[in-house]
Structure 1
Amino acid sequence: MNRIALLPDHPRPLLFAHRGCSSLAPENTMAAFKTARELHIPGIELDTHVCASGELIVAHDDTFERTAGDPRIVEQLTLDEIRSIDVGSFFAPAFKNERVPLLKDVLEEFCPAMYIDIEMKTRKIRNDPLPGLLANLLKTMGDRVTNSVTVSSFNPMAIRAFRGMRTGIPTAVIWGDDKGVPPLLRHGEGRWIAGCDYLKPQYAQVSRFSRFWLSKLGRRPMAAWTVDDPSVARKLAALGTEGIITNRPQDMPAEWRLQGAGK
């Protein structure tokens, strides 16, 4: 199977600020993404859901309970309802009234100067609108997102559906040893279902052996999450891990961070 190259024009390791610079600003907000840009971090990682009115919004959880004390389900809220939610105050008073951004607005603001990994948040295995909506959005953006965007998910069916829409965007299956991940998908098995282009394992599952049989033999690069210790990040890079996803990009080696300088 032909693989789509993982952001081939960008230096290695690829460095992604996890949910933006989420150790310095509220996650998945414009403030977090702008902080990453100000620090010259070359890439960001974010999460997207489909809301009830059909727009793609940027948020991680199924509800806003953790970030706003609001237990309502994201996908059951309209965009107008979501825009009324303060997702900044939980982090610090200085971020009061920070709002949930539209994915479209984030892409227009930060691409192509920064590269972005978009994680599709969905548990559906059929009749899922998210892959199609995302593919259509990326197609409308054309050159802005060419070689600037990747798409990933824990859900291999979502990746398979997205790949079928032939966007030319590289895709990855995510996995980790977590109770939220089905046992049959905790060691990368979803890659066979998805037919993805690269791999996103939890960093603790990356070793010389796993990289050989998962990555090298399968001819798929790896991007590991979530790596906040610079010494661990260096070891992963030395093993050949091509991407590092971190909550603390400001602590990573300067030569990785300053790849984003001057853009």
Structure 2
Amino acid sequence: MSNNITFPPLIGHRGVKELAPENTLAGFERAAELGLTWIEIDTTLCGSGECVIMHDDTLDRCSNGHGALIDFNFEQLQQLDVGAWFAPSFQGEQLPSLSQALLYIDRLGLNLNLEIKTYQQSPKHMAQAVCHALSQVEFSHSLVISSFCHDTLAELKVLRPDLALGVLFEEVPTDWLCIMRRLNAVSLHCDSDLLNETQAKAITAAGYPLLCYTVNNKKQAEQLWQMGVTSIFTDNPLIFNK
């Protein structure tokens, strides 16, 4: 894993969320086909303790399953269809584990922003599970791990000080610089709609790449880049070809 991180202007959000079912191998492949070099995906824990690739803590929105993710083990989750809800052409898509996703993304030649969704897990347990999954795979591209749960990032820092961490905020707080330094983070990630130009200039002047979610409007993206934003997460990179 390389910590010499260079972020591009566009990063695919949950793969490419508008063009393929989010957080699936098919979505990662579509991102690579479109020429993206980075994607963002989400991971959280299932009932048998494995990290799986899913944004929600329930199954209902993005699969043919129902109920809380934590109530199902990985074997049961593998029986679900996580593609048909998006379009019939994706029927049969399986929910990947974090290890499976890392292998596939690495083979595609993509760099990765992995967002940890801690939910009801303890930060320590969540960090241990992520580190276990990472230990099973040789990931040769750039990897940044981000989370809104800064306690989870702190636990990761203890377990794996070599990992590159990205701090997630909705609105950037006044003590953002203290948080970044405490976690030895490499990048700051925030809500594009809650960022102002003064904050953007301060963050980049401090030497931090600034990544904003989720932008699906070309004009808004251009305004953010002019403010100094390094990268935007987008559900549909084709918008920016028009």
Query: Structures share a fold, TM > 0.5?
Result: yes
1:65 aligned onto 2:60: yes
The runs of 4+ residues in structure 1 deviating greater than 6 Å are: none
Counterparts of 1:188 and 1:30, CA distance in 2: 38
Instruction: Name the SS for the 1:47 alignment partner.
Output: strand
- Aligned mate of 1:220, from 194, 205, 208: 208
The verdict on how the C-alpha distance between 1:168 and 1:77 changes in structure 2, with shifts beyond 3 A counting, is: same
**1:229 match:** 217
Counterparts of 1:116 and 1:246, CA distance in 2: 14
The verdict on how the C-alpha distance between 1:154 and 1:214 changes in structure 2, with shifts beyond 3 A counting, is: same
**1:149 match:** 143
Counterparts of 1:80 and 1:38, CA distance in 2: 30
Instruction: Name the SS for the 1:116 alignment partner.
Output: strand
Counterparts of 1:136 and 1:70, CA distance in 2: 26
Deviation at 1:128, TM superposition (A): 3.3
The verdict on how the C-alpha distance between 1:188 and 1:50 changes in structure 2, with shifts beyond 3 A counting, is: farther
**1:175 match:** 169
Deviation at 1:223, TM superposition (A): 0.6
1:76 aligned onto 2:74: no
Among all aligned residue pairs of Structure 1 and Structure 2, give the percentage whose two residues are the same amino acid. 25
The verdict on how the C-alpha distance between 1:157 and 1:105 changes in structure 2, with shifts beyond 3 A counting, is: same
**2:5 match:** 7
Counterparts of 1:22 and 1:128, CA distance in 2: 30
Counterparts of 1:222 and 1:188, CA distance in 2: 16
The verdict on how the C-alpha distance between 1:188 and 1:121 changes in structure 2, with shifts beyond 3 A counting, is: farther
Counterparts of 1:237 and 1:67, CA distance in 2: 32
Which amino acid counterpart does residue 112 of structure 2 have in structure 1?
I
TM-score (norm 2): 0.87
**Matches of residues 19-30 of structure 1 in structure 2 within 5 Å?**
19-30=14-25
Structure of greater relative contact order (alpha carbons < 8 Å, 6+ residues apart): 1
Moved more, 152-161 or 46-55: 46-55
The verdict on how the C-alpha distance between 1:252 and 1:139 changes in structure 2, with shifts beyond 3 A counting, is: farther
Counterparts of 1:175 and 1:140, CA distance in 2: 29
Deviation at 1:213, TM superposition (A): 3.1
Counterparts of 1:188 and 1:81, CA distance in 2: 44
Preserved contact between residue 48 and residue 56 of structure 1 (Cα < 8 Å) = yes
Counterparts of 1:216 and 1:139, CA distance in 2: 35
Counterparts of 2:65 and 2:224, CA distance in 1: 37
Deviation at 1:242, TM superposition (A): 1.6
Q: Where do 5+ consecutive residues of structure 1 fail to align?
A: 178-185, 255-263
Deviation at 1:125, TM superposition (A): 7.5
Instruction: Name the SS for the 2:61 alignment partner.
Output: helix
Counterparts of 1:68 and 1:80, CA distance in 2: 15
**1:43 match:** 38
TM-score (norm 1): 0.80
Deviation at 1:96, TM superposition (A): 1.5
**2:231 match:** 243
Moved more, 86-95 or 123-132: 123-132
Deviation at 1:229, TM superposition (A): 0.9
Deviation at 1:95, TM superposition (A): 1.3
Deviation at 1:167, TM superposition (A): 4.3
Instruction: Name the SS for the 1:237 alignment partner.
Output: helix
Q: Where do 5+ consecutive residues of structure 2 fail to align?
A: none
1:105 aligned onto 2:103: no
The verdict on how the C-alpha distance between 1:252 and 1:51 changes in structure 2, with shifts beyond 3 A counting, is: same
